[in-house]
Structure 1
Amino acid sequence: MREPKLRFKTSDGKQFPNWEEKTFNDVADYKKGPFGSALKKEIFVSKSNDTVKVYEQQNAISKDWKLERYFVTNEYFQSKMKSFAVSGGDIIVSCAGTIGEMYELPDDAEEGIINQALMRIRIKKSVINSMIFRCVFDKMISTEGVKISNGSALKNIPPFADMKKQSVFIPSFPEQQKISEFLSTINTVIEKQKETVFAWEERKKGVMQKLFSQEVRFKAVDGSDFSEWEEKKIDDLFYKVNERNNGQFGKDKWISVAKMYYQDEDKVTSNNIDTRTYVMRIGDMSFEGHPNKEFKYGRFVVNDIGDGIISELFPIYRHKENYILKYWKYAIQVDSIMQKIYRKSITSSGASSNKLDDDDFKRQSILVPCLAEQQKIADCLSSLDEVIEKQKATLAAWKELKKGLLQQMFV
């Protein structure tokens, strides 16, 4: 076998034995979930003392065994589903959509069954420990993904018959332990950094709530109070624009509304960038109507990256008077402000996107501080964003370090 670039040594400085070649069938047992017909919705029942939980992809993706939606009776479990049981120590893997997400159920996890989108893995503990298995399995499905996706960073789980025959090189148990302890230390640092990012994000939410509810007010430079916030109609603040692209912007200026960045040219599929797009100027805001957990009705986003073009499906609004761009970037994300407006402005909700009625929207009102206070609020929240971005960068650096180490530790 090729020698890993990074190897541990014994406590007395000696080399560990060479890694042993095995197959994935040698190191674990695998079980795919039942056919969909075995877990139809009519089979599910309300949770009780006599039910068994159904584990889904969300458990593997979110790394949370407590998430739950569906249950079957214990009788159905005993008669039909017992071979699909999972409990603490088992590894569940997502097999559809977001493929390859692994999660080891903790020892105190509730016993349940896997659904059709999951695979259960039970490692052979006499051969391999959990940490090492997850590393080599992830490397295998990542390699398989590259094979079928022209080099894209996707994951793919090969057919069981092929997967079980694949070779895998395994270190001796003492070296496995060394590797596991090292990676556990890295994982602990990463998890703590995730907690730091989350804490700062929650802190920012709290500050935004206090600022936009006016529980906390800034003062002017001379210590005097700013003027009271003024209630203004949307129609007095914004007007809808339908500025067509006249050829001044190409595919390199196609803006992703959802994430507010310039899309890669090779990912822009539209051939009608002059006739089927609108120009979005810096400072403009656009309504993106896809609902999600964070934004029930969809959301407005402010263009803070520069002029460009977007699909004509997204309505664009432009300021009528002087404004502080960053203030509005934050203000339109405040749920307590915008939900009241959306409830009276959303006219239809399709399967994937809500629509905004322009007339109803412009009739709504919003409280607006003076420009000087807008600037104070924007500066405060921008400072918090800078801290959050630095913490996220630290998290990304640790993840990248771990990725690089794994590439050197496994072949």
Structure 2
Amino acid sequence: MMVPKLRFSEFKGKWQSDLFGNVVTNKSAKYNPSTEEEDLPCLEMDSISQEDGRILHIYSAKQQASIKNRFSSGDVLFGKLRPYLRKYILAPFNGVCSSEVWVLHGLNINNKFLFHYVQTNKFIECANKSSGSKMPRADWSVVSSEMMSFPQEKEQAKIADFLSSVDEKISLLNKQYGLFCRYKKGMIQKIFSQEVRFKDDSGNEFPEWEEVELKQIAIKVNTKNRDNSVSTVLTNSATQGIVSQESYFEREIVTESNLTGYYVVRIGDFVYNPRISSTAPVGPIKMNELTQGVMSPLYTVFRFEKGLLKFYQYFLESSVWHDYMKSVANSGARHDRMNISGADFFGLPVPQPFEEEQTKIAKFLSTLDEKIAVKKAELDKLKTWKQGLLQQMFV
């Protein structure tokens, strides 16, 4: 019998406690796509975002092959596969979901209260006491055996309503952040397809863009770390850019003793992975803005000798560049297992606008990046505040 650290003043007394399995059920009816006539919205694991309860994709149940769990509007869905991903939603409609998703329904508690409870560190830690190492799954026998504390119905409702109002603010910031990101992506497309052009300070149009081969303005870097003087190991992340290997993998992959064959990468150097899939002829091309470090020789490192770095950083992230690379890889003329050879890569054409226009483009897009960063910081701060509330408002 306990009370939370943070509580609404009108409520007194201790909370009740019981086994989670006595308070919540995970039993749900099944749906077989091959025998059911009715099609329903289907949520798979990738349908649910991490940590913020949003639905990313909705599939057709009839187009799925495996047996699904049915759920009703108001049920709490929790991804039991790799529970540390924190995938949960309060179902806004009737539908079906992957068998890797628990359909939770409160027996003695409010479902909205339950929705916020499954977001607490206490519940996540319990769900992580799972079986399997490569594909860990939460174990219902473990979770259902844990004690859960909960207040009377009126206090449950008050807590749920308050935290739902916080969620609404998070949702609004998420939408604003998404709009900024989409606007930037659209402007990059328009700028590098030259649908949008900038003018000089006098209002005059800049000269037409020239086109040069990449090798005319950039060089391949193959300086090896022969004396082991550089020890920071970097890696190339499609979403995070150039990051330290230790922070990305949360462990050390290589040691200083075997860094002699690695390439030294300076700040301002660009890196890509030429070993590619059928959907991307070349991996993400990112500029190192972090620190001087070393990267595996599996990566290709190059350095611009002419042009504005920020301009080419944005260009190499644009769909204009990637769409052209796909067309080259698919053409067959310069194509081997969907890879582009080093010689072909450095022979690819890149734009070379007048330097003043490069500067204006880079400044414009950098301003958008700053606005996106501010909005992201606001969002992260609100999410952190909510996490603090969760830990203090639940026992």
184, 205, 210: which is aligned to 1:204?
A: 184
Q: 1:70 to 1:362 in 2, by over 3 A?
A: farther
Q: 1:7 to 1:141 in 2, by over 3 A?
A: closer
CA-to-aligned-CA distance 1:161-206 (integer Å, 9 cap, x gap): 3322221111111111211121111111111011111111122122
Q: Name stretches of at least 5 consecutive residues in structure 2 with no aligned partner.
A: none
CA-to-aligned-CA distance 1:293-325 (integer Å, 9 cap, x gap): 996753211122332211111111222x32211
Measured in 1, the distance between the counterparts of 2:57 and 2:385 equals 30
Contact 1:254-1:263 within 8 A present in 2 as well: yes
Q: 1:143 to 1:309 in 2, by over 3 A?
A: same
364, 367, 380: which is aligned to 1:396?
A: 380
Measured in 2, the distance between the counterparts of 1:5 and 1:190 equals 23
Q: Which residue of 2 aligns with 1:142?
A: 124
SS at match of 1:71: helix
Q: 1:162 to 1:303 in 2, by over 3 A?
A: closer
54, 79, 93: which is aligned to 2:78?
A: 93
Measured in 2, the distance between the counterparts of 1:386 and 1:232 equals 30
Measured in 2, the distance between the counterparts of 1:257 and 1:317 equals 14
Measured in 2, the distance between the counterparts of 1:72 and 1:292 equals 26
Q: Which residue of 2 aligns with 1:7?
A: 7
What does 1:142-221 align with in structure 2 at a 5 Å threshold? 142-144=124-126, 158-221=138-201
Q: Which residue of 2 aligns with 1:121?
A: 104
Measured in 1, the distance between the counterparts of 2:269 and 2:290 equals 11
RMSD of Structure 2 on Structure 1 (CA)? 3.4
- Deviation, 1:291, is 7.1
Measured in 1, the distance between the counterparts of 2:309 and 2:212 equals 17
1:363 partnered with 2:347: yes
358, 376, 383: which is aligned to 2:367?
A: 383
Measured in 2, the distance between the counterparts of 1:335 and 1:391 equals 24
What does 1:3-402 align with in structure 2 at a 5 Å threshold? 3-10=3-10, 15-31=11-27, 50-51=38-39, 55-61=43-49, 63-64=54-55, 67-68=58-59, 71=62, 84-97=69-82, 99=84, 100-107=86-93, 109=94, 111-112=95-96, 114-124=97-107, 127-139=108-120, 140-144=122-126, 158-247=138-227, 249-251=229-231, 253-258=232-237, 259-264=241-246, 267-271=251-255, 272-288=257-273, 298-319=283-304, 321-345=305-329, 347-348=335-336, 355-402=339-386
Amino acid at match of 1:23: L
Contact 1:289-1:299 within 8 A present in 2 as well: no
TM-score by length of 2: 0.83
Amino acid at match of 1:71: K
Contact 2:77-2:102 within 8 A present in 1 as well: yes
Query: Size of the alignment, in residue pairs?
Result: 377
CA-to-aligned-CA distance 1:360-391 (integer Å, 9 cap, x gap): 22232122212221111111111110011000
Contact 2:126-2:143 within 8 A present in 1 as well: no
Percent identity reads 26
- Deviation, 1:243, is 1.5
Contact 1:89-1:105 within 8 A present in 2 as well: yes
Q: 1:55 to 1:203 in 2, by over 3 A?
A: closer
Measured in 1, the distance between the counterparts of 2:101 and 2:258 equals 42
Q: 1:363 to 1:157 in 2, by over 3 A?
A: closer
Measured in 2, the distance between the counterparts of 1:344 and 1:391 equals 37
Contact 1:24-1:163 within 8 A present in 2 as well: yes
Measured in 1, the distance between the counterparts of 2:358 and 2:273 equals 24
TM-score by length of 1: 0.80
Contact 2:24-2:105 within 8 A present in 1 as well: yes
Contact 1:93-1:103 within 8 A present in 2 as well: yes
Contact 2:217-2:307 within 8 A present in 1 as well: no
Q: 1:98 to 1:278 in 2, by over 3 A?
A: farther
Amino acid at match of 1:64: I
Q: Name stretches of at least 5 consecutive residues in structure 1 with no aligned partner.
A: 150-154
Contact 1:304-1:325 within 8 A present in 2 as well: no
Amino acid at match of 1:102: Y
SS at match of 2:59: coil
- Deviation, 1:70, is 5.4
Q: 1:145 to 1:339 in 2, by over 3 A?
A: same
